Structure 1
């Protein structure tokens, strides 16, 4: 596989802007943001990231002049179908697609749209970026964890080489499905509990009861993972707490940010997915059933 010289990214929210800013600072600024015409007009004025007005190179969907080497997807899951159509003009025979979405289903959806030979598995962890008043702020960039469940080892190595060259923090995982399930388990806990409590990371750093609530929700995922022979354990939950301790106390999960901004959350990816998997496997999920109802109330209240 040829060396990757440039990435395209779609989804310039808290996560996307964090990694886009790192790529923008790399030699040659090897990043273009895929946008529609409306966003292009807004983004031409710059994006405020950690107090700096950043002007990204833009790739307008209706004016696609080249096929992308690597497309990083950093949108919310409920925007994935629209995103598939948005990136389609940029997808060629050699294009690789790396989704950073929450949940455990985006790669399969993308594989149906573009073919599994183009799709890597990925997510990000340990970043504390927030979007407030159209400004992205972060103190920790975290890292991109990626790999292949479709036998694309050479392609994954090519992405790793690109991230090394551009100084993007990353880990190439040997068992990416296990790592995806680990992140899913953590999101089911901290995203949902934080959104209901209105709790930033500082609350989870200081209050044992907040951690206990998070762990209780995660344990239901652990039972499902065990039934599906995913190699996770309770130690994987406990190992997440030091990561939380390293984040900005004022930082907030994406779901809490959605609730506070009155946006649709990703609750279907978390508690509803746990409920449905539990039903298929005969595993009770009372905590996530309760969380699903509570977050539904918050969404309706904010709508």
Structure 2
């Protein structure tokens, strides 16, 4: 079955990036942005822009009756996932493909618990340097969406269907047959880059060059490598270099989401990154001093926001 109707929830950086890209290639009525009435009113008043172009979106509230989506893209922050899963219920049908663009290694299982793992494809968004400030998104590199089935070595009919759709829509992608390992690799990168850039108040350029920030980032990533072996994934230094090479392609002035949250004094996803690493370290009896230090520094930053 070909993908014709797409619904997206979450107009953060990735939601705007891919939503705008699709909006220029799909009929307006076939692409739906799910949001509550407060957000819709704000979007319509302030408008939404991607690299200077006005985004023309069809907005729908969670309560509106509609036909199920062929593809549902979830691009909210992790702390908004539970609310999002309630909001998308009218968009999920028997044959809906659900794609999560969230960071971390747990969102697919959470989504699958609610709507069934048979609807979920595992996904990693990589290589993009999008920065969203207010209602404006800017980026140099669109990156790509890497996706596949949970089972290693398998290309499911849903994965093939999504690949055909991305070909038609000119969305860069990679169909991966070992998504568990790829997700762990992206998790390793996020643990290093997101937290380090936020703590050092820098940008991608600040960790692309040699120095203390880059050393901290790599040390945090190596703690994930150590834990991956205990979890049966077995990341290596080659995986580390693969993700450092991807980091090297990003625009130096770009910033990951956690740094953008820090600048806007918003709560971060530190529990998803250092919090997860520390918890797994305790589980396996492995030290995680770098992530513990990053965790404490980010928590102090957040306490400072709330005190202002």
**Structure 2 length as normaliser, TM-score?**
0.94
Q: Give yes or no for contact 1:44–1:55 (8 Å, CA) kept in 2.
A: no
Structure 2, unpaired ranges of 5+: none
CA-atom RMSD in angstroms: 1.5
* Residue of structure 1 equivalent to 2:20: 21
1:206 aligns with 2:205: no
1:288 pairs with one of 288, 291, 294: 291
Report deviation, 1:27: 4.6
Equivalenced residues, count: 302
Distance 2:169 2:65 in 1: 24
2:177 pairs with one of 174, 178, 193: 174
* Residue of structure 2 equivalent to 1:56: 57
Report deviation, 1:38: 1.7
Q: Give yes or no for contact 2:20–2:56 (8 Å, CA) kept in 1.
A: no
**Structure 1 length as normaliser, TM-score?**
0.96
Residue-by-residue CA offset, 1:170-227 (whole Å, 9 max, x unaligned)? 1111100000000000100011111100010111223343222111001111011011
Distance 1:174 1:209 in 2: 36
SS in 1 for 2:103: coil
Distance 1:16 1:156 in 2: 20
Distance 1:203 1:170 in 2: 28
SS in 1 for 2:127: strand
Structure 1, unpaired ranges of 5+: none
1:115 aligns with 2:113: no
* Residue of structure 1 equivalent to 2:93: 92
Report deviation, 1:147: 1.0
SS in 1 for 2:104: coil
> Which shifted more, 233-242 or 276-285?
233-242
* Residue of structure 1 equivalent to 2:134: 133
Report deviation, 1:119: 1.1
* Residue of structure 2 equivalent to 1:33: 33
